[in-house]
Amino acid sequence: MSTEDQQIERRGRNRVVTARVLVVDDSSATRRILRRLLEAVGYGVTEAADGLEALALCRADPPDLVLLDIDMPVMDGPALVGRLQEDDELAEIPVIFLTARTSGADAAAGLQLGAHDYLRKPCEPVELEARVGAALYRRSQHRSLRESALEADRLSTVDALTGLANRRQFGRRRDQLLATTVEGTSVGLIVLDVDHFKRVNDTEGHIVGDAVLRILARRLSTAIEASHLLVRWGGEEFLVLAPRLNEEATNELAQRLHLAICATPFGVGADRLIPITVSIGCVSGRLDEIDALIPLADEALYQAKRDGRNRVVHQTAPTSSE
């Protein structure tokens, strides 16, 4: 639960403290009565005499809930609800309609317009407190569920060990670039693999092996640009997606990554240094042919391994006419 939600919770489900309620009614007497009742149970209250004034207040400082009269001059309650729902930042503010009408059809119409609940005027203090508290609690729960879903989605695109992007995030970024980048835009792909990593695990243990991968991820992260995507491609293999890099720039980046890893031994303990090298394959080409470039980068990586490891091999992508 967010800090904001924790601040508005009070004594369980139906009580909220420090929540701010906007009371919108063209009757100053009604506003005064509602303010007194709400402040008595711990809510902060702001007032507006019509929908237009209320809209301005919501935009300036969104309240936690709106108590809204249906019939008002200038802008009535239904019109205000429509304006709130058009604004992504205001659409989730719960609205409770206030109405002097007595028919069930009128109440149903208000709910269909987008209100979360309704109260008939004059309202009993106990009912007012219960409905306001329930609406705020539902909002808090909805927000918590949404934040949990967003966090779960974020975690599904992040490698747990290194904190880098994983293949799923790579796929999303690739699709985003393909959808938003002009045809023919260049892209660089760099694939690197830790040399003799199994030997590290076998001789030093998996805890040290994990530490090596985390250190490597940090070094790579500092060597790339903000527009690049660094991915743990699998095991001890990593990939860099670098939009708008031509062949020369891609090769220069690959050399910079190689130096960032190999120039200095990895400190995996207070007095333990391990020399680590990587083999790197890179390729550049058209972004709209990215799926065909990945095997070429892999081929360059395998060539670097065959040539003795600890080196960069650049693979030239065929032109579209070939």
Q: What is the pLDDT of residues 217-255, one digit of tens each?
A: 999 999 999 999 999 999 999 999 999 999 999 999 999
Beta bridge partners of 238: 192, 232
Give percent of the chain with pLDDT exceeding 90.
56
pLDDT for 8 equals 39
Tokens 């709106």 locate to: 66
Beta strands, E only, the chain: 20-24, 44-48, 65-69, 95-99, 117-120, 186-194, 229-234, 237-243, 266-269, 272-274, 278-286, 312-316
pLDDT for 144 equals 80
What is the CATH T-level fold of the domain 3-154, as seen in this structure?
Rossmann fold (3.40.50)
pLDDT for 103 equals 57
* 33 phi and psi angles, rounded to 5 deg: -65, -45
- Domain residue spans of the chain: 3-154, 167-316
User: What's CA 144's distance to the chain center, in Å?
Assistant: 14
The span from the CA of 261 to the CA of 157, in Å, is 25
Which CATH superfamily is 167-316 part of? Answer: Reverse transcriptase/Diguanylate cyclase domain (3.30.70.270)
pLDDT in tens, 156-205: 889 999 999 999 999 999 999 999 988 889 999 999 999 999 999 999 99
Q: Would residue 53 show up in a list of annotated catalytic residues for this protein?
A: no
Nearest Cα residue to 192 out of 168, 228, 220, 160: 220
The answer to whether the peptide bond before residue 122 is cis (omega within 30 degrees of 0) is yes
User: 167-316: same fold as 3-154?
Assistant: no
Q: Which of 236, 237, 252, 289 is catalytic?
A: 236
pLDDT in tens, 24-58: 998 899 899 999 999 988 899 999 999 899 999 99
Q: Among 25-29, 150-154, 302-306, which stretch is predicted with the lowest mean pLDDT? A: 150-154
Cβ(315)–Cβ(300) below 8 Å: yes
- Count of alpha carbons within 13 Å of 253, Cβ hemisphere only? 31
